[in-house]
C-alpha cells in the first residue's frame, strides 16, 4: 500500500492508503478531498490542481507540456503545482505529501 497525506488549506491533514497504479485524483475524490477533476483526466481543465510538497516534487515524473499549459490556468498555482489526474501512484511515491489549494472546488459543492 502507498500512503498519501493530503493537507487542506487550513492545515488539517488526512492520511490515505492507495494501491499501486491508482491515479491521485481518484484517491483524493474517494477520500472526500475537494478536487473537482471534471475533465476525467483529459487535461481539458485545471480543477484537479494540487500543490506537491517541495520535498516530493522532484520525485514525480516531469509534467508534459499540455499539463504545464493547463496549470497556467489554475487558480492558486505554485511552482510545485501539478494536476492530480496526471499523477499515477507508485511505490516510489509512498509517503507523498499533497497540499489542496484554498481555491479548489468540489463538484458536490462541499
Q: Give the tens place of pLDDT for each residue, 60-89.
A: 999 999 999 999 988 889 999 999 999 999
Q: Enter the pTM of the model.
A: 0.88
pLDDT reading at 109 higher than 60: no
What are the two backbone dihedrals, phi and then psi, of residue 68, each rounded to the nearest 5 degrees?
-60, -40
Which residue is it, cell 516534487?
57
Whole-angstrom distance, CA of residue 38 vs CA of residue 12: 24
Amino acid at each position: 500500500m502507498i500512503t498519501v497525506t493530503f493537507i487542506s488549506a487550513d492545515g488539517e491533514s488526512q492520511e490515505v492508503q492507495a494501491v499501486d497504479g491508482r491515479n491521485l485524483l481518484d484517491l483524493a475524490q474517494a477520500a472526500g478531498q475537494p478536487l473537482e477533476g471534471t475533465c476525467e483526466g483529459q487535461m481539458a481543465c485545471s480543477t484537479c490542481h494540487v500543490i506537491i510538497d517541495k520535498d516530493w516534487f522532484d520525485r514525480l515524473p516531469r509534467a508534459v507540456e499540455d499539463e504545464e499549459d493547463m496549470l497556467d490556468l489554475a487558480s492558486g498555482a505554485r511552482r510545485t503545482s501539478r494536476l492530480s489526474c496526471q499523477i499515477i501512484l507508485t511505490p516510489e511515491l509512498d509517503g507523498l505529501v499533497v497540499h489542496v489549494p484554498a481555491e479548489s472546488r468540489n463538484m458536490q459543492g462541499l
